[in-house]
A and B are shown apart, each in its own frame.
Chain A
């Protein structure tokens, strides 16, 4: 299985801050990397797919970069509704695997 490791596990930030979350794969996954946001009591929501493609309806302050084994999710200016858990997920092969999550809190 491909192991996905996110860092940090949690971070504290303020409204308006620029936030970067890193995801590292245990082997190259080319650009088959997706990001999800999860709020308490809700299902995960797709933010970015195939490394950098913004899902319809997702604000442009979210962006993704990377390739191979190292990827980042950036929120350019944190809004109150962005405080949540963020997961990366690889779709290079099966079994699909997720990072352990990064909690963004105030």
Chain B
């Protein structure tokens, strides 16, 4: 059974860099047919897709965040990491990692971590 577990900065000061890691167990991040995604949800708000990475290392980021985001994979530890720099209070959110099935019929998020709250505050 695939499990995703996020761990993160918790509290980050404005202008600093947020870092959240997703530990994947029960499956390999080096498998084809999937992308590894980051999605965030501000308190009381909706879901915003941040970006994804494939096992090849290919990435795509939401244009609204592209200049500040980096997603990477560590295949040796089966981890996926999100870094978001120059944060403001608007980046306060629960950050989720999610696996997306990439199939001929379509793509969907079939597995999610439990999420980790990152608060941006001085």
Contact = CB atoms under 8 A, between A and B. Distances in A.
A44 B49 CA distance: 13
Nearest to A35: B108
Which DSSP category, helix, strand, loop or mixed, fits chain A's interface? loop
Most chain A beta carbons < 10 A, residue from B63, B96, B100, B109: B109
Contacts of A96: 37, 49
A94 B60 contact: yes
A91 B118 CA distance: 26
Closest 4 CB pairs of A and B: A49-B108, A43-B112, A91-B107, A96-B49
A10 to B, nearest CB: 13
A89 interface: yes
B85 to A, nearest CB: 19
Contacts of A28: none
B7 to A, nearest CB: 15
Nearest to B50: A95
A55 B110 contact: yes
Which bracket fits the contact residues of B?
20 to 34
B86 interface: no
Given A50-B106, A89-B108, A91-B108, 12 more contacts: A1-B63, A34-B106, A42-B114, A44-B96, A45-B112, A49-B106, A50-B108, A87-B46, A87-B47, A95-B64, A98-B47, A101-B47
Contacts of A42: 114
A78 to B, nearest CB: 23
B105 interface: yes
A19 interface: no
A36 B47 CA distance: 11
